[in-house]
Structure 1
Amino acid sequence: MPGKNIHVVPAGDGWAIEHEGGGQRQEFKRQEDAIAAGTAKAQQEQVELLIHGRDGQIRERNSFGHDPRDIKG
């Protein structure tokens, strides 16, 4: 599902990576493993990785897309 951002989210006692809008989901025991897999997938698909905390709130974002780098401000 290219073009869909990837989220690292709580999944029971573990963590999962999933694409926005559903579809693919992969579960992991440790958050570090989910972040590593999510980062690799986001880089491959050139999308954004959003890392959620246990409370469901986004605590970190990493963009691997084609963001313009010459923005002032």
Structure 2
Amino acid sequence: MSKKNQHVVPKGDNWAVKGAGNTKATKVVETQSEAVKIARGIAINQKSEIVIHRPNGQIRDKNSYGNDPFPPKDK
């Protein structure tokens, strides 16, 4: 299984979960929060990143569930 980042993107009045570079959505649901839960599960499984978009398409947030290039430093 490839490590594709998962994007939560608007799709009409719904929200879609799409793997990076995919033309088809993995899943289309009614709410953004539901799409985020689905994308998070996939990203955790694949050790990749989730990218959450705003309704206008801008990136709102990102979370990494794999090899984070900038992990937090313990003090």
Q: TM-score, normalised by structure 1?
A: 0.87
The 2-side partners of 1:48 and 1:61 are apart by 7
Query: SS at the partner of 1:33?
Result: helix
User: 1:27-62: CA deviations, max 9, x gaps?
Assistant: 000111000000111001100000000010000000
| Unaligned 5+ runs, structure 2 | none
1:8 partnered with 2:8:
yes
> What's the offset of the Cα at 1:11?
0.6
- Report percent identity of matched pairs: 38
The 1-side partners of 2:40 and 2:55 are apart by 19
1:20 partnered with 2:11:
no
Q: TM-score, normalised by structure 2?
A: 0.85
- Per the alignment, residue 54 of structure 1 pairs with 55
Q: How many residues align?
A: 71
The 1:15/1:3 distance shift into structure 2, 3 A limit, reads same
The 1-side partners of 2:66 and 2:16 are apart by 21
4+ residue segments displaced more than 3 Å: none
| Unaligned 5+ runs, structure 1 | none
The 1:13/1:66 distance shift into structure 2, 3 A limit, reads same
